[in-house]
């Protein structure tokens, strides 16, 4: 009788939910796909991917950023979702359709596969993944006291007001560029 050796298998990694819970300490809803619970360790600022790419170019590196389809998700400090409507009004963006939303307490975000693992083509992906063993909160944009930058240790992350203003500008610009087609172009765009 010949002994057969089974084909090699990838080692059991505990799954996506366990990676988020054990490596990062983030709360998850264990469903398919795995959902990250917002409002506990972070909130999410969500905007169109084209506007999000422009925001990332203008603001430089800060906390984790995910992409799901045509939507970009920027992780921001807990409580930021509650501040978004007031900030938009204060920055004089209130009443303008921006396609800029926030997900806070009680919300969920589809969990991208952990870095180095692949998912389906439709799955969320990390553009700037969280780093296990490093607290994410100090890198997240937050409201900063007047005259100080957000983030610890020298202001690594932008303050939330500047991020929201940049995001609103880029959302508005992207919307105008998407609607400025040869069929609808009756007046050239002018940006100051």
Is residue 116 within 8 Å of residue 132, measured between CB atoms?
A: no
The range of the structural domain enclosing residue 90 comes to 16-141+155-176
Position 159 in a domain: yes
Cα–Cα distance for residue pair 19/11, rounded to 1 Å: 14
What pLDDT is recorded for position 116?
82
Residue 83 belongs to a domain: yes
Residue 41 placed within a domain: yes
What tokens were used for 161? Answer: 């007001």
In-domain check, residue 182: no
Per-residue pLDDT in tens (0 to 9) along the chain, 192 residues:
555 544 443 333 348 899 999 999 999 997 888 999 999 999 999 999 999 999 999 987 788 999 999 999 999 999 999 999 999 999 999 989 999 999 999 999 999 999 888 777 678 999 999 988 888 888 899 987 654 555 444 455 578 999 999 999 999 999 998 886 666 556 666 665
Please check whether residue 183 lies inside any domain of the structure: no
Examine residue 150 and state whether it is found in any structural domain, yes or no.
no
Query: What Rg, from alpha-carbon coordinates, does the chain have?
Result: 20
Domain presence at residue 33 = yes
Q: Residue 36: exposed, middle, or buried by beta-carbon count in 10 A (0-12, 13-18, 19+)?
A: buried
Domain membership flag for residue 75: yes
- At 101 the pLDDT is 96
Count of domains forming the chain: 1
């Amino acid at each position: 009788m010949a002994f057969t050796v089974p084909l090699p298998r990838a080692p059991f990694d505990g799954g996506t939910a366990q990676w988020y819970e054990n490596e990062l300490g983030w709360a998850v809803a264990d469903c398919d796909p795995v959902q990250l619970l917002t409002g506990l360790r972070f909130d999410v600022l969500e905007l169109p991917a084209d506007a999000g790419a422009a925001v990332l170019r203008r603001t430089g590196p800060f906390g984790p950023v995910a992409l799901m389809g045509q939507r970009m998700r920027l992780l921001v400090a807990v409580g930021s979702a509650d501040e978004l409507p007031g900030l938009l009004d204060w920055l004089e963006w209130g009443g303008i359709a921006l396609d800029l939303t926030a997900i806070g307490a009680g919300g969920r975000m589809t969990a991208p596969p952990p870095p180095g693992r692949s998912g389906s083509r439709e799955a969320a992906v990390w553009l700037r993944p969280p780093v296990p063993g490093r607290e994410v909160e100090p890198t997240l944009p937050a409201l900063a006291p007047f005259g100080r930058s957000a983030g610890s240790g020298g202001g690594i992350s932008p303050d939330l007001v500047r991020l929201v203003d940049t995001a609103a500008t880029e959302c508005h610009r992207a919307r105008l560029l998407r609607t400025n087609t040869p069929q609808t172009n009756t007046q050239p765009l002018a940006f100051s």
